[in-house]
Structure 1
Amino acid sequence: MKNVFRNTLALCLALFSVLTINAQQKRNMENTALLIIDVQNDYFPGGKMELAGAEAAGNNTQKILEYFRRNSLPVIHIRHIAVNEGADFFLPDSPGSEIHPRVSPKGNEKVIIKHFPNSFRETDLLQYLQKNGIKNLVITGMMTDVCVDATTRAAFDLGFSNSVIGDATATRDRDLNGQVVKAVEVQKSFLAGISALGGLYAKVVNARDFLAGQ
């Protein structure tokens, strides 16, 4: 009987612990929305502006999106349409400008069209977030050093608390005065920059840790 009692007690304590952790995670996600920036076909293999690590970043973004959907949390898709002179990707009405199938919007998920790196510029993103009481953003997307960086910094300036899922972002090699800076170094540098000074602009975490509640 003592063994049965001990086993039952242990099971109850384990169940209580799981429920407490789940409740804490849910509380921590109050007033939080997922922002998926420019996960569009042109950034993937076969597209006009393929990024290094686009497939892995897309897979991790999909995992984060599934978490938000399971928990009925708000999701916002940002889609870039290039209207500037000389643009050669994300062109209007092109297949490459479509949101990638891995993260296609569903139901009432908000879709915002932008024309600049900063997702807040000349869009209704700020008004939408304010109207829905959103104070915290979980940010994924592409490219790390352009639209993700610009949007994250702007969000901080507008008073939002940000978390960037580092391995759900991607970029490509850059040229600096004739020298090639590899994508992996660009990625590290920009993620380090937005998380500097104790995560001033954003806390940077990986998808696995975020999903584990860390």
Structure 2
Amino acid sequence: MANPRRPVLISIDMQRAFDLPGRPRRWNPDLDRNGLALLAAWRARGWPIIHVRNDSPDPASWFHPDHPGHGFRPGFQPVQREDLVAKTVNSAFIRTDLDLRLRRLDPASLVIFGMRTDMCVSSTARCGSNIGWRVTVVADACDCCDLPDPFGGATIRAEDAHRVHLATLADEFSEVVTTKAASPCSLPEGEPIRQERFPARAS
């Protein structure tokens, strides 16, 4: 059994598409630096890492395998025997074998970072929590993009969307921490791999 009872690091959609011309503004200049720091810390400990990549089936998508945006950002490619999970929807748990891979790894918890906070990071964290995994989201190693207001108001800033979605995750689905707090020496080992979920609080 590989790396039993250790936190598994899950890198979500760290792909080139987000910085190509024509994409909405994103706001976190430390995204790559913090993400690479997490990968380096896990690799130094020999802890498990899973890379999630968006393999959109839509030929017009920035994330289609034939699009230049599909490739990994510099430094975020899997190395050696690190796992790669290809997904086609927002959550990395839907129509993939991620949950099976996690059961085989037997981790203490899931530590998630990547793009975007409001989309695939949030969807994956929510699904993971709902099926019983203990989830941590690393806030300063995630990022959002500006969004149009569906009611015709001013553009919703990426940093505001990021903060609101982290608040929702922290309220119900995950711990939310910084890169420093997510360092291997700060995370628990040897705890149960899955936790009992209680009914959601009434609104």
TM-score normalized with structure 1 length: 0.79
For 2:81 and 2:106, locate their aligned partners in 1 and report how far apart those are by CA, in whole Å: 17
SS in structure 1 at match of 2:90: coil
Shift of 1:30: 3.1
Which residue among 165, 178, 184 is the counterpart of 2:159? 184
Distance 1:185 1:38 in 2: 21
Distance change (3 Å), C-alpha of 1:50 and 1:40: farther
Q: Aligned match of 2:17 in 25, 33, 42? A: 42
Unaligned runs of 5+ in 2: 188-203
- Pairing 1:76–2:50 present: yes
1:206 to 164, 169, 178: 178
Residue 195 of structure 2: aligned partner: none
| Distance in 2 separating the partners of 1:80 and 1:47 | 19
The CA RMSD measured in Å over matched residues stands at: 1.9
Deviations 1:127-186 (A, max 9, x none): 110112124100001011010000000000111001100000001111122221111110
CA distance in 1, matches of 2:98, 2:21: 27
CA apart distance, 1:91: 1.7
Correspondence for 2:30 among 37, 44, 56: 56
- Change over 3 Å in CA distance of 1:77–1:51 after alignment to 2: farther
User: What is the match of residue 32 of structure 1?
Assistant: 7
Which one-letter code corresponds to 2:164 in the other structure? S
Q: Aligned with 2:30: secondary structure?
A: helix
Distance across 1 between alignment mates of 2:23 and 2:111: 25
The one-letter code matched in structure 2 to 1:62 is: L
Q: 1:210 offset after TM fit, Å?
A: 2.2
Q: Is the 8 A contact 1:36 1:141 kept in 2?
A: yes
* Larger fraction in helix: 1
SS at match of 2:180: helix
Structure 1 unaligned regions, length at least 5: 1-28
Contact 1:137 1:163 in 2 (8 A): yes
Aligned to 1:106: 79
User: How many pairs are equivalent?
Assistant: 181
Query: 66-75 or 98-107, which moves further after superposition?
Result: 98-107
CA contact (8 A) 1:155 1:162 kept: yes
**Greater relative contact order: 1 or 2 (C-alpha under 8 angstroms, separation 6 or more)?**
2
Aligned counterparts of 2:162 and 2:121: Cα–Cα separation in 1: 11
Which of residues 86, 93, 96 in structure 2 aligns to 1:120?
Answer: 93
TM-score norm. by structure 2 comes to 0.83
After TM superposition, list the pairs within 5 Å mapping 1:77-156 onto structure 2: 77-84=51-58, 87-156=60-129
1:54 Cα deviation from its structure 2 partner: 5.2
Report the counterpart of residue 41 of structure 2 in structure 1: 67
Distance verdict in 2 for CA 1:207–1:47, change over 3 Å:
farther
Shift of 1:84: 3.4
Instruction: Say whether the 8 Å CA contact 1:145–1:190 is kept in structure 2.
Output: yes
> Distance in 1 between the 2:58 and 2:89 partners?
9
- Tell me how far apart the structure 2 counterparts of residues 56 and 50 of structure 1 sit (CA, whole Å): 17
